[in-house]
Structure 1
Amino acid sequence: MERHYGMDWLRVGAFALLILYHIGMVFVPWNYHVKAPALVHWAVVPMLAVNAWRLSLLFLVSGFASRALLMRSKGLGDFTRNRSFRLLVPLLAGMMIVVPPQPWVELLTKHGYDGSYWHFWFADYFRFRELAGLALPTWNHLWFVFYLWAYTMVLTLAVALLRASWLQRVYDRVFGTVLVLALPLAWLVAVHALWFPMVGETHAFIGDDIAHVSYFPVFLFGFGLAGSPAAMRAIRRWGWLGAILALSGYAFIAWCEIHWPHGMAHWAVRPYLVAHAVQQWGAIVALIATADRFWNRNHPMRATLTEAVFPFYIVHQTIIVVAMWLLLGRGLNGGTQFAILVAATVAGCWAFYLIGREIRPLRPLVGLRLHRPKRPGATLAVR
């Protein structure tokens, strides 16, 4: 299949937004591993501009890229082995090495823990039970990697058992029309407003029903989209309407947050959830249409950036949490703290990627192939 550069750029942009979003989590009054001394309540409104669709978009582009890798694989067995190695190895390494500073800082700043990091790592982190309400060990932000692996395994089983060519024809016929906008939107409205109203994700995998019914279908949608020019044409055709729906949904959400900063009126809860779903799928359709229309072109930096985003994802949250902990008590204002966090996170992520890619034994641990690509353009965005 022909490479879609626009989806590469969309994936890079989605991960960049995710990093900024997690930096923002330090400053808003939502639960996070470490918090700034002075919270910025108004920042909730711009955060909500991406809250609804950021993770769904990542699962969709991951499904899209998985189709490309499957078509390049020697068979389902090769595909399964490759995906398991590329996802589970960095997940396990991340849980053992990258993630532990996060719960340690959280215990220090929120629960009065007084042990050193090394005492925590050797004595408490691998306890396999809770400490001050935190389940240890943990995957924290790396939950996405395990979910992606699990969804990929289910997909592989489905491809092995079902008539994929027939399913693709059905996909093309259904999603090659305005239903590409309407049908997933109806599903997400049912998920958020009818089946799981005001239910939060747990990221524990078992029992995380709202996450699975939200993310697994969009992962499958992305897998089908990679082989469906008809659906891509429909998305491009209806992208303008997706943008209008996304802006309308966000406008209502922002109005609710501004109008009721300390608790929403009961009557507004259901419309708020519908607006969340409308914003979620409308933004995704609009962004894919934009990527297909304007971004489907190569650039010398594309291969490096598409390779770097997974190592960036693995390490970014630990850098944010530790850097913010180091800034506590230094009397800096919020703007200065934010600027330092952005600079430290970008610099730390680049260092993690550049060092990891040059040392062969480290490459799988930081989320890269064991062997470097023969040429820059060979790098495939397949997280």
Structure 2
Amino acid sequence: MGSSKQLVENMFKAGGITMNGNNPWDPQVHNPKLYDRLLGGGSLGFGEAYMEGWWDCEALDEFFFRVQYYRVDKMLPRDFNTLKYYLKAKYLNQQTKARSKEVVRRHYDIGNDHYELVLDKYMQYSCAYWDNAETLDEAQEAKLDMVCRKLKLEPGMKMLDLGCGWGGLSQFAAERYGVSVVGVTISEEQAAYAREKCKGLPVEIRVHDYRELHDEFDRVACVAMTEHIGYRNYRTLMEVVNRNLKDDGIFLLHTIGGNYSTKITDPWIDKYIFPNGMLPSAAQLTTASQGLFILEDWHNFGVQYDRTCMEWLKNFEQTWDQRTDEQYDETFHRMWRYYLSASAASFRSRKNHLWQIVYTKPKHLGEYKSIR
């Protein structure tokens, strides 16, 4: 059968990757126990080994691109950790109201100062739109404007910003389009930041679970929240929007999506980045919206998320020395480099996508003209 080193080397060769090779995407191994750890611990063990400095790679994003494009990740053994995450996801609702706050505690509330150094001026932690933009600020502003134009916002309307994050869309829509906005988040830190950014604007930021929402809106935007709610709750999300949206309203859903319907995520991502999260498939979303909405427009610009992630990574590396809190140690540094590089590669390889989907209700009359 061969040694673990031979097995790993042969596996990566399928993606044009040579362990300790000369290409910038070739991993450089510092601890020979890495091979056993990869075979025994799968993607979780491999990611943790990187965080601990067992291996390095000059072009980590290119390494991940080759792993994903050539499906090398599918050759990884189904280890105990993968089985554990699968069973947990299959038989438990990981996104109950109580569990949903875990990702807030472990990812979003690690410090607004950290995100200010990585993101744009509107604090957009979702895909930018680069068609006519040169900088991250310009690309995120273009994304926000496209969302507003797709929603066909008009002065005096009332809009729901579902999963509002740090309030960038709420601020932009109120300032540029003259609408009043209710932003909903479950993060106290994000809410405090959003209230400060939106001070003086007709924007109300609420802290509660989306399932508790009972109101009436002309427009609903849900940007980068669906990835956190879990496959058991896709239908619930659609029902919540349906009951809060006027009959002539418009609903825009902005989400990362995957090529296959799944009930799990990568174990390393689940443990260190987005606990209890998962990416919906097109089939899961269309099934969830069936009978509630008319699907008016489906826009895929996921390849632009590659550039967005690489811009975040550049900002992260360039501002690393500005972080003084003790939580920002070298393990955190390597963890975020690993996460952003792998994320960029997932869009570059077309494994993942970014979808903006526009829905109307069955009583909405007339033609919806798509916006790009």
Place the TM-score, normalised by the shorter chain, in its bin: under 0.3
Per the normalisation by structure 2, the TM-score is 0.26
Task: Report which structure shows greater RCO (CA 8 Å, sep ≥6).
Answer: 1
Per the normalisation by structure 1, the TM-score is 0.25
Q: Which of the pair is proportionally richer in helix? A: 1
